[in-house]
Chain A
Amino acid sequence: MSAAAKRPFMRLALPYILSLPALLVCIGILIPFGTAVYYSMQRYNLAFPMGRGFIWFENYQAFLTDPAFWNTIRVSLLYTFLTVTFELLLGLGVALLLQRRTLMNNVLSIMLMLPLMIAPAIAALMWKLMTNPNFGILSYLVGLAGLEDFKWASDPGTALFTVVLVDVWVYTPFMMILLLAGLRALPRQPFEAAELDGVPSSFVFFRITLPMLTPYILTAVLFRMLESIQQFDIIYAMTQGGPGDTLMVFQVQAYLERYQYTNVGRSAALLMVLWAITFILSNIFVKQWLRLRERARGV
């Protein structure tokens, strides 16, 4: 075949060849996803190999009347809301404090990143020791403050507070570093103009800083929200989802179903519900983020 004849073929094939790696990655993601969807529609418990069969949406239907499932939804959403809210407020506060580029601020911002470098499961075990009622330093300190019998993660009344505290300790630096980067990237002109006009700082914060920072906030919140709703390691390491069902979030329940109860179908169905929730939430956030970007461009 002549070179001239080859050229149109290459021209036609080139886009497909170039997109092949992306296609392979997509397939790599979609195969396990498709498998999970398939399993979620099966009665599939490894301990009952003879009972395996396709049951369409029965696993999902069973959730509707299962109080444990609704408890999982409630705990997962509450945990996500609390962790993301506290991390946003603290992260934003710290980022504002460190906004100015000074040597001290630069050193502090690096130091504050340290919790993020610890594996969450290790952080959870560390906190488990610190909150041990017999010898934990935090138990001792709250004891000095008059809370003699504070049981931290081992009491249903304080368990959620305890794991949220650990999550906030680990992940606030993540929020802080994203928002700090955003703050430092904001254009200076609006702030200089406001300063010249003598605009009060609260007005500057609420009317200039916060609106301009919103895309960064949305990005940071989206990342944290996606991770927080899929929380596993901190909760599993500290309480295995207990006491009772107090901290039975999606991932912990799905893990127990799969690895301890060998109920593959139910575990997959739980994970599909979790996927649907994260998909809906991230869609809302991404659309909001795109809308803000369009507005910033003046479209």
Chain B
Amino acid sequence: MHEKAKDLAQAVIRKEIGRREFLRRTGQLGLGAAASAHVLNMMQTKALAADFDWKKHEGTTVNLLMNKHPYMDAMIANLDNFKELTGMEVKYDVFPEDVYFDKVTAALSSGSTQYDAFMTGAYQTWQYGPAGWLTDLSEFISDPALTNPNYNWDDVLPNLRAATAWSGIPGAPLGGDGAKQWAIPWGFELNSVAYNKRIFDQLSMTPPENMDDMMEKAAQIQADVDGVYGIGVRGSRSWATIHPGFLSAYANFGQTDFTMEDGKLMAAMGTAESKEFHAKWVKMIQDSGPKDWSTYTWYQVGTDLGAGASGMIFDADILGYFMNGGGNAEAGNLAYSAFAANPQADAPTPNVWIWSLGLSQFSSQKEAAWAWMQWASGTEHGLFGARQMDFVNPVRQSVWDDADFQSRIAKSYSGYLEQYKASAPGSKIYFTPQPLFFNLTTEWAASLQKMVAGEVPVDEGLDQLVDSVNRQLRSVGL
């Protein structure tokens, strides 16, 4: 029976039958859906080996530094296939996100050979790349001796490929001339609205359509639903407060973090439009945000939505996705909506966060590590993770096009695909790449905290921020 299932899996790989037909036929053979999927995944992995020498680094152990994340869980769940394919061993250290990036910085800045590859964000590469800690992956991707012919780099969404490539020149566009591919996109998030449909139905409300509407609806939830606050957004003293909903809405009003004047970066948060937007954002938090907003990370924003403590969030789309399952009190009640803050804007402009894979410059076995990276970011693993795990949002177009993935999302996450389709065209990294990203964006978050606390008026706070940011840029010659 197992052999017959393998034959059927081969037929799927040869594209003679579809995946659904495969599952139907293996079902007739008495094989459950999970077992069938396992057989198919195993056979697909074996098929990979046909065109490329995956065994080149057999016996080698690759060491990874990873963040505790569903992407990591999906990788571990499929890791045996990689080991079987390559004969390699994989060791990994996993750290929670609170301390993860500090651990990466410590490991890389010491020049340690302890880790070969690691998870990183695109913003982090603006620091790690110029510091000389990352390997330019363009050379690996374009070398047929190192990269399997089915890797299909062009299948990775163009915005994401560009977002993880940079020339290292402050202010130069991502993916522009002379850009080095500092990392490989692995999974990503757009920023949109996820809301509690039960609460919205109770108040006969539709999802917010612009900033003013969001403020009004958040205030209405706050006033009318006992024990529930209007809207969850991040607020901790960290750059991570700026990059999700805040920057997505800010960019929708045509505002930027920096402008280039005479070859110099200049802080651009002090415009009249920026001040108007900040004032609205601050008022929304004061009126309808969580009481302890200034300590809120993505974790609190997400769990409050899942627990029914907030009416909606404007944050990473996958946060709403994750909270709509598991043991969350509001699982099944959450819905999604693309969001354009500016009523005059044509479309949403979500800022993007990309979990990516980086290759340490200090690795003593880069080719072996690249073998793991191309497998982990390849189509087969992407399909496995999207169909069977929470490896969402996938970075490959072929995975988005997969009928099984689409039907799974449509079935359990109502409106998610529609939200994605509406958000994706305008999505990109809206920050200006520059090496002081973390200082300056954290300072922006600290300023926002002062404004929300009423320590400083919005106008004055932004003027102070602009002065401080420009002074810091000049101090390093930018």
Choose from A45, A154, A238 the contact partner of B476 (Cβ within 8 Å): A45
Check if B295 sits within 8 Å of A238, measured CB to CB.
yes
Check if A48 sits within 8 Å of B476, measured CB to CB.
yes
Among A47, A134, A149, the most chain B Cβ lie within 10 Å of the Cβ of A47
A47-B127, A49-B132, A152-B292 as given contacts; A259 in contact with B477, CB under 8 Å: no
| 18 contacting pairs across A/B (C-beta < 8 A) | A45-B435, A47-B130, A47-B131, A47-B436, A48-B476, A62-B475, A152-B292, A153-B292, A154-B293, A156-B455, A242-B236, A243-B446, A259-B102, A260-B105, A261-B436, A262-B105, A262-B127, A262-B438
A260-B102, A262-B127 as given contacts; A154 in contact with B295, CB under 8 Å: yes
Check if A46 sits within 8 Å of B109, measured CB to CB.
yes
Query: In whole angstroms, how far apart are the Cα atoms of A26 and B28 in the complex?
Result: 76
Choose from A62, A128, A154, A238 the contact partner of B291 (Cβ within 8 Å): A154
> Which residues of B lie under 8 Å from residue A155 when comparing CB positions?
294, 453
How close is A266's CB to chain B, nearest CB, in angstroms?
Answer: 10
> Which residues of B lie under 8 Å from residue A239 when comparing CB positions?
237, 294-295
Check if B455 sits within 8 Å of A260, measured CB to CB.
no
A-B pairs under 8 A by CB, number: 96
Check if A243 sits within 8 Å of B102, measured CB to CB.
no
Other A-B pairs beyond A49-B132, A153-B292, 4, CB < 8 Å: A47-B127, A133-B291, A134-B304, A259-B105
Check if B295 sits within 8 Å of A153, measured CB to CB.
yes
Q: 0/1 per residue, B433-449, Cβ < 8 Å to A?
A: 00110110010001101
Q: 0/1 per residue, B90-121, Cβ < 8 Å to A?
A: 00000000000110011001000000000000
Check if B449 sits within 8 Å of A243, measured CB to CB.
yes
> Which residues of B lie under 8 Å from residue A51 when comparing CB positions?
476-477
Which residues of chain A from 146 to 198 have any CB-CB distance to chain B below 8 Å in the complex? 149, 151-157
Check if B237 sits within 8 Å of A134, measured CB to CB.
no
Dominant SS at the B interface?
Answer: helix
Q: 0/1 per residue, A16-36, Cβ < 8 Å to B?
A: 000000000000000000000
B191 interface hit (Cβ, 8 Å): no
Which residues of chain B from 297 to 315 have any CB-CB distance to chain A below 8 Å in the complex? 304, 309
How close is A232's CB to chain B, nearest CB, in angstroms?
Answer: 13
Interface size class of A (residues with CB under 8 A): 20 to 34
Query: In whole angstroms, how far apart are the Cα atoms of A262 and B452 in the complex?
Result: 28
> Which residues of A lie under 8 Å from residue B127 when comparing CB positions?
46-47, 262
A244 interface hit (Cβ, 8 Å): yes
A256 interface hit (Cβ, 8 Å): yes
Query: In whole angstroms, how far apart are the Cα atoms of A37 and B273 in the complex?
Result: 45
Q: 0/1 per residue, B116-156, Cβ < 8 Å to A?
A: 00000000001100111000000000000000000000000
Q: Write the chain A residue with the least CB distance to B295.
A: A154
> Which residues of B lie under 8 Å from residue A120 when comparing CB positions?
none
Choose from B131, B236, B292, B438 the contact partner of A261 (Cβ within 8 Å): B438
> Which residues of B lie under 8 Å from residue A128 when comparing CB positions?
295
Q: 0/1 per residue, A193-208, Cβ < 8 Å to B?
A: 0000000000000000
Residues of B within 8 A of A (CB): 101-102, 105-106, 109, 126-127, 130-132, 236-238, 290-295, 304, 309, 435-436, 438-439, 442, 446-447, 449-450, 452-453, 455, 475-477
> Which residues of A lie under 8 Å from residue B436 when comparing CB positions?
47, 261
A134-B309, A149-B291, A261-B438 as given contacts; A156 in contact with B476, CB under 8 Å: no
Check if A48 sits within 8 Å of B236, measured CB to CB.
no
Check if A244 sits within 8 Å of B453, measured CB to CB.
yes
> Which residues of A lie under 8 Å from residue B455 when comparing CB positions?
156, 244
A233 interface hit (Cβ, 8 Å): no
> Which residues of A lie under 8 Å from residue B105 when comparing CB positions?
259-260, 262
Choose from B106, B132, B295, B447 the contact partner of A259 (Cβ within 8 Å): B106
Query: In whole angstroms, how far apart are the Cα atoms of A153 and B235 in the complex?
Result: 13
How close is B184's CB to chain A, nearest CB, in angstroms?
Answer: 21
A46-B109, A243-B449, A244-B453 as given contacts; A260 in contact with B438, CB under 8 Å: yes
> Which residues of A lie under 8 Å from residue B106 when comparing CB positions?
259
Choose from A47, A238, A243 the contact partner of B435 (Cβ within 8 Å): A47
